[in-house]
Structure 1
Amino acid sequence: MKTILLASVAAVGISTSAAAQDSAVAGTPVASESQVADIIVTARRRDESLSKVPISIAVLSSGALETQGIRSEQDLQTAVPGLLIQQSGSSNSINYSIRGQTVDQFTGSPPAVLPYINEFQVDPGAASSFFDLANVQVLKGPQGTLFGRNTTGGAVLYTTVQPTDKLNGFISTRIANFDGRQVTFGLTLPVAPFASLRLAGNYGDGGGYVKNLGAYDGVLGAGGNFVPRSDRLGNDRNKAIRATLLLTPTDGIKNTTIVQVTSDKGTSVPGLLYTSCGCSLDAPFVAGQTGPFSGLPAYLAWQKRTNTETYSNSTWKFKSKSHFVSNNTEINLGDNLVLKNIVGTAYYNKNFEADIDATPWHIYEAAQGYPANHMEHRQFSEELQLQGKAFDGKLQYVAGVYYSYLRDTQDDHLVVYGAIPSPSIYTLKDQSYAAFAQAAYSISNQVHLTGGFRYTKDEIKGFELPGSQFAPGGAAYSPTYDQKQSTSFSKPSWNVSLDYQIKPSLLLYVTQRGSWRAGGFNFSAPPVSTAGKFGGNLFLPETAKDVELGAKFNGNINGMRVTTNFSIYRQWINNVQRATFISVPFPAVVTSNVPKAQVTGQEFDFTVSPASWLHVGGQLSHVNAKFTDPLVIAFGQSIPYGPYGFSPKWSGSAFSEISQEIGDGSSVALRGDVFAQSSFYFSNEANTFLPGTKVAGYALVNGRLSWNNIRGTGLALAVYGKNLLDKRYFVGGLATGVTLGTNSVNPGVPRSYGLELKYAF
């Protein structure tokens, strides 16, 4: 891995600067007499220069998203070392992981990292909004004082392109291998002196890179045959439309409303068999089978030779629809006082099928032969803020209240051994109430002190629904089970930071933060309102606190433009929410609280511009996460946790870019990127109950060649390639070895390439 990382840091590719493509919104480079171009961010709910904010932030402008080919959440990982987009079981089940903080699949835990679209928090499982974006900001570390819900890992802020008073827009199209195609557009229409409308949309199709060759048609151990298939898995047809209306009826009022409707239909990238425990589950595979595999060991040996083919008895079909509406209103109450209101509602509905055991045989499936699994998410939130300045601008403050309501209904039609239904059907409600305040005071022109506090209360209720295995009449029902459950938690979050602007180009800072995420109930386990230690499905809140020291430089060295950011941190987590797989009597998941963990790390990034046409840079992240008190008791069984899952120790990237004017306003550009990541575990019990859950590190090489503003027409043509060396790698996994005897992994995209055409005006 050291060789890979050295190659990553030293890699040289070539491209164009994206700064000129950015809009005048957050994420836009700006400059002052004492500084080179800087980036505007909104990490503290106001516009600030990136180099002046005492927080570790990664920012990708619209131009960077385009030139780096970032079209989905999974792509985002290669542009932000230290951010892991965790897949568990299929490509349609993702979670964000930052600094070791994430959420295990099937736990029911709140996310450790939350995404926001224009300050409105959205569900991580909803359809992607990766089109017509102004920028993406990744905030690292515990968040809680200023953002909608508490998180222990960070936040990802998506900002869409906003309407202006000028007519402008673009349309782009892309064709790629694996039958990939995409059309995206954005159009701003000034409709009145006080109103402007931005319309944007996306249509994408294809992309499937795993071929399903066949499936087994018999019940486990009862004989049967392999049935040939020829399905491409991973195809996704996405259709999305977004409208943004900006109203400015007076100089002191700004009202922005966003409506987005999205639908997705296709097949997931499947989980592939990775390891087997060699336990008693092997025996039924041998008897009465015909076809290319006589049993599990033979199939495992075959699957290890390929990650673009599989035999699966699931179609892996999925279909989802989502929409959200949000409104952001700002009212200027005076020279130094602004009232701000953010309100929004969202809906997300998905049906899907999955082969959880990742074999051709019917061991454990989601919806195979039954109505598709169903997930429904409803959400509403309201936030009222008061922002202002005092003491001749030395004090900047924000205070407010927040309320959110979440309702999740899940209908998991799980099937064991091809015949026994094991459904989990329930509704979960979560109401969150919070009050917060944060202030930044300029002790001097160079020294600034920031303090923030938030107090949050979460009320959680859950209901078993008719048809559930734990409801009356269900296969696992017991009269001791609670059909209705409720609990509540309340805790503080805080933030204290001190920064010292040594000179206009150099900032030093130290930050101390604390936050938490709520506990609740995991309805994959028996509904008993006590912890898993005592045979129940209750889990407690997770709390985290950290200390971070950092330095930011943005200036000139020997006539060269240089930006660097460095941070070192330590984070302590208590009651870490993690999955424990059990059988009661069917495979189930308990959410356990691992007593203590500690995460330390360093992050470094830099860009250097030796000339106006040449830019080079890189990023490096080191994370050392471990359980310091790892012992958990679940259903009377002692379970020591470790190593720490979904947390690569090293990740890094490097790039170089160059562009050349060729007359008539045209330019050509070439960019190269290398991303590398060390090995990681996709379970948290690899040393004990779940061996064989470690995936190897990998390095990816990407490139893009473009011809911009062809002869001054506004046309741009580009060819690109990703994973040019066609590396075989995995981006996640599902550890079910304890209950099913098998562990599966999610394959990364093989070598891909395509052609892009864009017209902007």
Structure 2
Amino acid sequence: MMRNRLLLSSAIAIGVPYGAGLLAPEIGMAQASQEAPATVDAVEEIVVTAQKREQSVQDVPISIAVTTGATMRQAQITNLNDLGNRISGVKVNKAGASDSLNIRGIGSGFNMGFEQSVATFIDGVYLSRSQATRVGFLDLERIEVLKGPQSTYFGSNAIAGALSAVTRKPSQTFEGYASALYAPSDGEYDLQLAVGGPLGEKLSGRAAIRFSGMDGYIRNVRINADGPDNRDVQGRLALRYETPGALDVNWRVDYAHFDDKHAEFQEILNCPPAPGYGAPGAGCLSVIAAGNADNKLDYRTSTGDSFFRLESVSSALNIAWTAGSHTLTSTTGFYWHDITRFTDSPLLAIAGLTGIGKSSGLPIYQREKFRSISQEVRLESEKGGFLEYVLGLYYDDSNLKGGLSFGFYFAPFFARLPGLVAPFTPIAQQVLGDQDQSNRSAFAAATLNLSPELRLNLGARYSSIRKENHRTTIVGFGDDLGRVKADMLLSPAATAAWTGTVGFPSGDYPVTHRTDDKFMPSINVQYDLTSDAMVFASYTTGFKAGGWAIGNTRDFFGPETVKSFEGGIKASWFGRKLTTNISLFNSRYNGLQESTTLINAAGLPVPAIANVGQARVRGVDLEVGIRPFAGASINANIGYLDAKYLEYPNAPCTQLQLLARPTGCTQNLAGKRKAFAPEWSGSVNANYAFELTDDLKAKLGAWVYFTSGYYQQASIDPLFYQPHYAKLDLRAAIAGSEDRWEAAVIAKNVTDKVTSSYRSVMTASNAVTAISDRSRSIAIQLSTKF
């Protein structure tokens, strides 16, 4: 932590005297509109819809971080990883069969069968699949990150929090922006264009497009390539029909196409193994034999190739009709994606297997097809009376087809099927899950204005979630990507022998239908101490349905629940030149859905999924915003987190424990810190903008984000531990007096701190693979708005 404090102090020292910061208004203190002036004497009011109605963020009785789309473009915050690094208590993990978004140490593990504990919404439409969040932030008005259970307004799956993105809406004013960024260090480019305006007296439209990618910052010496090599395209079309005060209709449709080569270059650690870990496993031996072991994070690797491809379509239709004292709102959503992911293990086929004709020992191919439709209807009363209320109904229907295929080419497994398959047969196995799901919910919220200073907020949601899932497996001749050739399947006898000895178990799940339902009440009290200071206290319950592991096992898991207490104070001082928000929270989770990755006897990755008995999450969130003089700002977003397992008697073992007990190994993690739960995390941002001439201004900025150490797998294995770090971003810009144009230089990870957000066990080895976060980059950005 001493190093963290030194870097943090350095950033403030850079930022204050020299005017550090154009990341103008930042997380939690973001300006209300991208059109707001860059130099302000007080904190701009931020309007959010965290409770499905427009409110100042200072009046919302929950812990919430907010940033605008303009701020994210300026800071080149283009994905959840970038955003999560800057918010205390938030950790994002982008790798494996699914991504993971964690708030306050709670998230969903690495399996396609999980819905996310941090629910993601775009314009009120729920996106339940983790990798849907890889679509970047295109033409946004703002993003709201709500911490803690959000069951009443955001649904039963928002058991750890919610991320709500609001896109930029068309208006009757012609406006738009264009920006271009290029970073020579790793070939990153980002081109964005958005334009909108009137199409008729009450009709307006807006269109946006983004081309982005990079050449890569990790060198793979095995295949002589750099990665990730991304080529991504996103587009949006939006229409709005508005009769002010009566009818507001908003429709948008988004399309995204990602073509990412060399997408998951994983570096290798603990190879050769540290003392006590035994001899190198087969995977590590392959790396050592090739002369490529370096055993450290350094943007260099010798693992196999990989790619990630995504095509998605999402749409939202929002209709708000106001009649008298009530507003009826309908939100209709549609989402579809087709994802293909491939990773190639560094395992090479052992001597004697060259007749298979495969260059890879263990290729893994993933396919995920998903579609969902949803409908929400809300009736909202007029504001300002003794009773304000919202009544709503919600329904969604979805289908998920997810599968994994493995090529078993790294050992002579055909020898275990004598007389059933020919020698040197390249055996592959595919596992497929096909899940249908429907969610029926009713919710209500009421605010009782007991006095001008005192408000009582009541909320409740009832959800009934029905799921049906079926699992199938096939075994046959495999291709170079590890896929089973449909016209070259093994015989039933060979398939049975294979799944009973070497491969993954065959057959359907033991239980294929389930219905989980829950009533989730909440209560919240607010009291205005002054016109600029509010205290609150809340009790919230939450719930997430059970389901099935989609992949190598036939595991299934039950629902999880939470009871959460939170209290805090939000205050502004000295004419709103100082803002201080602090909240304390204590949540207890029962049946927490947890997962990690193990290696089975055949050397293959297998997810271990279980319901944890109990976990406790408690801590403090602090936000401070200071505007010492015109054009200057300092902002801090800092969190302390104490997240522990209270009951976890059958947790998966560490790699060291597995060496001693390779069969049936478990450990008791009661009292141990949860994964993705650093004790300290957050960011400090300093900004200064000043005039150079009547027509020219300068903008300077610095942003330090930091975290204490944390585990990246639920086994709490020291091999999966990311030590503490702090990183520094800088930005300097020249702009026109009214910000109509701007030229900037952006430096990210200035000190080139090497870290990883993902670690997992290496196939057929006691080594570890890790995906390094981005190295230092320096980019030039040109932008204009009109």
Output one character per residue of 1:606-642: Cα deviation in whole Å (capped at 9) or x when no partner: 1111101211121211111111112027896543234
Q: Does 1:723 align with 2:723?
A: no
Contact 1:36-1:555 within 8 A present in 2 as well: no
Where does residue 4 of structure 1 map in the other structure? 4
Cα offset, 1:148, TM superposition:
3.8
- State the secondary structure of the residue aligned to 2:51: coil
In structure 2, distance between residues paired with 1:468 and 1:60: 49
Where does residue 776 of structure 2 map in the other structure? 751
Q: 1:244 aligns with which of 214, 234, 238?
A: 238
Contact 1:182-1:202 within 8 A present in 2 as well: yes
Output one character per residue of 1:632-691: Cα deviation in whole Å (capped at 9) or x when no partner: 2789654323441111111121121111123344321100111111111111223xxx44
Where does residue 306 of structure 2 map in the other structure? 316
Cα offset, 1:406, TM superposition:
2.1
Where does residue 339 of structure 1 map in the other structure? 328
Q: Does 1:257 align with 2:218?
A: no
Where does residue 140 of structure 2 map in the other structure? 133
In structure 2, distance between residues paired with 1:409 and 1:23: 40
Moved more, 455-464 or 51-60: 455-464
- State the secondary structure of the residue aligned to 1:37: coil
In structure 2, distance between residues paired with 1:366 and 1:682: 31
Where does residue 176 of structure 1 map in the other structure? 183
Q: 1:408 aligns with which of 400, 403, 415?
A: 400
Q: 1:350 to 1:206 in 2, by over 3 A?
A: same
Where does residue 614 of structure 1 map in the other structure? 632
Output one character per residue of 1:221-272: Cα deviation in whole Å (capped at 9) or x when no partner: xxxxxxxx22111121111110111012575111100100000002214222
Contact 1:5-1:651 within 8 A present in 2 as well: no
Q: Does 1:650 align with 2:677?
A: no
Cα offset, 1:24, TM superposition:
10
Where does residue 517 of structure 1 map in the other structure? 544
- State the secondary structure of the residue aligned to 2:289: coil
Contact 1:571-1:600 within 8 A present in 2 as well: yes
Q: 1:385 aligns with which of 378, 382, 393?
A: 378
Q: 2:316 aligns with which of 311, 326, 331?
A: 326
Letter aligned with residue 327 of structure 2: V
Q: Does 1:204 align with 2:193?
A: no
Letter aligned with residue 240 of structure 2: L
Where does residue 597 of structure 1 map in the other structure? 615
Q: 1:713 to 1:411 in 2, by over 3 A?
A: closer
In structure 2, distance between residues paired with 1:360 and 1:284: 7
Contact 1:27-1:59 within 8 A present in 2 as well: no
In structure 2, distance between residues paired with 1:191 and 1:131: 22
Where does residue 552 of structure 1 map in the other structure? 570
Q: 1:35 to 1:399 in 2, by over 3 A?
A: farther
In structure 2, distance between residues paired with 1:19 and 1:685: 39
Q: 1:112 aligns with which of 112, 117, 133?
A: 117
Q: 1:574 aligns with which of 567, 584, 590?
A: 590
In structure 1, distance between residues paired with 2:565 and 2:761: 32
Output one character per residue of 1:303-348: Cα deviation in whole Å (capped at 9) or x when no partner: 31x43111122x21121100111100011121x2011111111111
Where does residue 270 of structure 1 map in the other structure? 265
Query: Normalising by the residue count of structure 2, what TM-score does the alignment of the two structures yield?
Result: 0.84
Contact 1:497-1:511 within 8 A present in 2 as well: yes
Where does residue 419 of structure 2 map in the other structure? none
Q: How does 1:693-712 map to 2 (within 5 A)?
A: 693-709=720-736
Letter aligned with residue 549 of structure 1: G
In structure 2, distance between residues paired with 1:437 and 1:484: 33
Where does residue 534 of structure 1 map in the other structure? none
Where does residue 65 of structure 2 map in the other structure? 58
Where does residue 288 of structure 2 map in the other structure? 293
Q: 1:27 to 1:428 in 2, by over 3 A?
A: farther
Q: 1:341 to 1:368 in 2, by over 3 A?
A: farther
Across the aligned residues of Structure 1 and Structure 2, the Cα RMSD in angstroms comes to 3.1
Output one character per residue of 1:420-471: Cα deviation in whole Å (capped at 9) or x when no partner: 4242212122211111101111111111110100011111111123527999
Q: Does 1:191 align with 2:199?
A: yes
Tell me the number of residue pairs that the alignment of Structure 1 and Structure 2 aligns.
Answer: 712
In structure 1, distance between residues paired with 2:205 and 2:88: 36
Q: 2:226 aligns with which of 226, 232, 236?
A: 232
Q: 2:649 aligns with which of 625, 631, 636?
A: 631
Structure 1: segments with no counterpart, 5+ residues: 215-228, 528-536
Where does residue 530 of structure 1 map in the other structure? none
Contact 1:426-1:468 within 8 A present in 2 as well: no
Letter aligned with residue 208 of structure 2: A
Q: 2:689 aligns with which of 643, 653, 659?
A: 659
- State the secondary structure of the residue aligned to 1:413: strand
Contact 1:362-1:416 within 8 A present in 2 as well: no
Letter aligned with residue 377 of structure 1: F
Q: 2:84 aligns with which of 73, 77, 80?
A: 77
Cα offset, 1:17, TM superposition:
7.1
In structure 2, distance between residues paired with 1:596 and 1:501: 36
Structure 2: segments with no counterpart, 5+ residues: 351-357, 411-425, 477-483, 653-662
Cα offset, 1:96, TM superposition:
1.1
Query: Normalising by the residue count of structure 1, what TM-score does the alignment of the two structures yield?
Result: 0.87
Q: 2:719 aligns with which of 688, 692, 696?
A: 692
Cα offset, 1:728, TM superposition:
1.2
Cα offset, 1:587, TM superposition:
4.1
- State the secondary structure of the residue aligned to 1:476: helix
Where does residue 657 of structure 2 map in the other structure? none
Output one character per residue of 1:106-151: Cα deviation in whole Å (capped at 9) or x when no partner: 2622211021111111233124141211111100001111114422
In structure 2, distance between residues paired with 1:624 and 1:468: 46
Where does residue 660 of structure 2 map in the other structure? none
